[in-house]
Structure 1
Amino acid sequence: MSAGAGDRGDDVLDWLGPKLHALRFEKLREEDAAAPDSTVQFLFRMADAVPSLRGRLDEHFHENRRRPSAHSFVGEIALEAPGLVASGRADLVRPLLDFLEAEYGADADVDNVIAVSFVEMLPNRGDRGAEIESLLGPKLRAELERQRSWPDPPEPTE
């Protein structure tokens, strides 16, 4: 098996000394502790509900030391889903949308992942893949409309 990016980083830290290695270990422990368990369980449920994502999730877990980032994983999917819909493959996206709709509203941390890393990443009306909006259930559609109702930030002044 070839060395992954994390393995090469460990080699560099070993070369630099035990203090930097200990600092890295402590930082990784802090990051691992920061991820809410509910979001990790959400990803497991997602893999059960959308089996086509299971392999990607396994890879994500491996790359992230068995403690995934729900935001980054869902964000990657959010960038791909509209393109699938635009290319006529909405059937591949439907199970994901149904799952997210069912999950939304049950847990604040999971809601944050869905709202910030999926709904907020959806294309604007008129953009490629915007037809994904027509496939959203009522809870996700309401969240999208809520986000779209936010006022635009003021223009910067010089």
Structure 2
Amino acid sequence: MSDTGSWTGPWTGSAWLEHTVLAAVPLAREVAGSEVRAGLDAGLDVDLMTDGFVMELVSAALVARVQAGDLAARDAMVALGALLEAGPPVVGEDIVSAYLIHVPSPGQPGGEIADGLGPRVRAALDQDRDHRNEPAVAAFLDRLLRAVPALRPLADAERYGYHDEVLAHPFLSDVAERAVALLTGGAALEIDDDWTDQERAEALRLFTSAAPDPVAEVRAVLDFFESELGSAPEVDELVTAAFVDMLPDEDEPGAEILGLLGPRLRAELRQAR
């Protein structure tokens, strides 16, 4: 464990990140200290404070400032990208990924950060953002959104990359969460007390709104999955891993959804558990 003293307190990051990367970019160092202290004060385990975790916190905070027009934050992100470009490949891969997750794509606000990346880091960005769903999965998602249009806001919230693809696994996990929330009148949503009013309103919009007949929507989703199981191995894996595995246990809120499952979904649930 490294002890960074007054700027963060104890954490599990490497000396390379602390002394070579963050120390060279004062604003990044300042943000890291603030974010790590806030996490520790909120009760996060110090073992979570890895290089990747800290870099993602820094990237998220700096990019938020960039998008608000902060030129110093933009310069800090550019400087971090240059340091990661020159960094040791084996040590730096997880940090590169954590840095890139919040970097805007070229052409988006703040996209000049991506435009200035060196070849190694830019290649990692392009590989990650050039995401395409498998054809069977893409067709499945299209059929789902046509069958249950109320799910489109959830799908739009999970779009990512150069091709604006829906991230299939996170989306279907959100579908499961919405179904359970609809059946419980929103009581099953895990909304933290420290969420802002905006975050709370967005969660309610995505997971409880636009459902005049909640049970009918849930039945439509379940009937669709029931009919799709067996259509393609990729679809079966997706439905099981991202939806069925996310359903509540019999003693948890929203367990009434288990009684609405068709025989194929029940079989997948038994096999998964």
What is the TM-score with the length of structure 1 in the denominator?
0.77
Residue identity matched to 2:272: Q
In structure 2, how many angstroms separate the alpha carbons of the residues matched to 1:147 and 1:24? 34
**1:1-150 matches, cutoff 5 A:** 5-6=104-105, 7-8=108-109, 10-17=111-118, 20-29=121-130, 31-32=131-132, 35-58=133-156, 60-61=158-159, 63-64=160-161, 65-87=163-185, 89-148=214-273
Moved over 4 A (4+): none
In structure 1, how many angstroms separate the alpha carbons of the residues matched to 2:154 and 2:272? 29
In structure 1, how many angstroms separate the alpha carbons of the residues matched to 2:271 and 2:119? 50
Gaps of 5+ in 1: 149-158
In structure 2, how many angstroms separate the alpha carbons of the residues matched to 1:8 and 1:18? 21
Aligned Cα RMSD in Å? 2.4
In structure 2, how many angstroms separate the alpha carbons of the residues matched to 1:130 and 1:103? 23
Residue identity matched to 2:262: G
Change (3 A) 1:9 1:42: farther
In structure 1, how many angstroms separate the alpha carbons of the residues matched to 2:268 and 2:110? 40
User: After superposition, what is the alpha-carbon deviation per residue over 1:115-155, rounded to whole angstroms, capped at 9, x for unaligned?
Assistant: 0000000001110001100111110011111222xxxxxxx
Change (3 A) 1:131 1:77: same
Q: Percent identity?
A: 35
In structure 2, how many angstroms separate the alpha carbons of the residues matched to 1:89 and 1:75? 18
Residue identity matched to 1:114: V
More helix, by proportion:
1
Q: Alignment partner of 2:164: what SS?
A: coil
Change (3 A) 1:27 1:89: closer
More divergent stretch after superposition (85-94 vs 72-81): 85-94
Residue identity matched to 2:242: S
Residue identity matched to 1:10: G
Q: Which has more radius of gyration?
A: 2
| Larger RCO, structures 1/2 (Cα 8 Å, 6+ apart) | 1
Gaps of 5+ in 2: 1-66, 68-102, 186-212
Residue identity matched to 2:235: V
Q: Which residue of 2 aligns with 1:155?
A: none
What is the TM-score with the length of structure 2 in the denominator?
0.47
